[in-house]
Chain A
Amino acid sequence: DTAVSQTPKYLVTQMGNDKSIKCEQNLGHDTMYWYKQDSKKFLKIMFSYNNKELIINETVPNRFSPKSPDKAHLNLHINSLELGDSAVYFCASSQGPGGDGYTFGSGTRLTVV
């Protein structure tokens, strides 16, 4: 039973399209995150939600809009996709501030052509 699951695993799309990535966790955690891993494997936080409330927004272009319908779900919608958005996007969750560490999903590889 997957703890943090993301769909889809792969996403290939054209520039200018709009796409969404879904994330669900069954760990009962109250905090969820989106991270972006670039081609050099560098991981950078994008957003964090706690109990459906946005608590971290790291100067991400407003083409990226996270939505948390409940504390078990955190989706990422991307408008007007650009070549530079190609990356692996990881969802993660933690209990509270994350002092025990995060549990990561397996990632969504987004390729914009």
Chain B
Amino acid sequence: AQSVTQPDIHITVSEGASLELRCNYSYGATPYLFWYVQSPGQGLQLLLKYFSGDTLVQGIKGFEAEFKRSQSSFNLRKPSVHWSDAAEYFCAVGNSGGYNKLIFGAGTRLAVHP
């Protein structure tokens, strides 16, 4: 069965510092992988996605993520965090065949110190 693990429940970084949010997935075939961001009281916004091809994918708001099949990971990165990046971040995996049901990780709450 598909599953997603986000090992870090809460991360705090200083504004301007780099960021890496970890995501590990479990899926038998090549997965579809996604990162979403949820600001307080808001819905989820898609940051980026990976299906195939280049393992380093660029997303919105300056985020990128790297797919590493050998490590079953899809970590999200940003070189310089802004205060407005404070939010909840969710990694999700979908199956590459048939109708998708995205399976979400438990989320990582990002706090940004000035």
Listed in ascending order, the chain A residues whose CB lies under 8 Å from chain B are 4, 31, 33, 40-45, 48, 50, 55-56, 58, 90, 92, 94, 97-107
Q: Is the CB of A90 within 8 A of B94?
A: no
CA distance A58 to B102 in the complex (A): 12
Q: Is the CB of A99 within 8 A of B99?
A: no
Counting chain A CB atoms within 10 Å of each CB, the highest count among B49, B88, B94, B102 belongs to: B102
Known interface pairs A40-B106, A42-B104, A43-B104; A97-B44 also in contact (CB < 8 Å):
no
| CB contact between A104 and one of B44, B51, B94, B99 (< 8 Å): that residue | B44
Interface size on B, residues (CB 8 A): 26
Which residues of chain A have C-beta atoms less than 8 A from B114's C-beta? none
> Which chain B residues in 15-51 approach chain A with CB under 8 Å?
32, 34, 36, 38, 41-46, 49, 51
Which residues of chain A have C-beta atoms less than 8 A from B106's C-beta? 40-42
Q: Is the CB of B43 within 8 A of A41?
A: no
| CB contact between B51 and one of A31, A99, A106 (< 8 Å): that residue | A99
Which residues of chain A have C-beta atoms less than 8 A from B53's C-beta? none
| 5 shortest interchain CB distances as A-B pairs | A98-B100, A104-B43, A43-B104, A106-B43, A104-B44
B48 to A, closest residue via Cβ: A101
CA distance A92 to B94 in the complex (A): 15
Q: Please give the distance in Å from B36's CB to the nearest CB on chain A.
A: 8
B98 to A, closest residue via Cβ: A97
| CB contact between B102 and one of A41, A42, A98 (< 8 Å): that residue | A98
Q: Is the CB of B49 within 8 A of A100?
A: yes
Which residues of chain A have C-beta atoms less than 8 A from B36's C-beta? 101, 104
CA distance A100 to B103 in the complex (A): 14
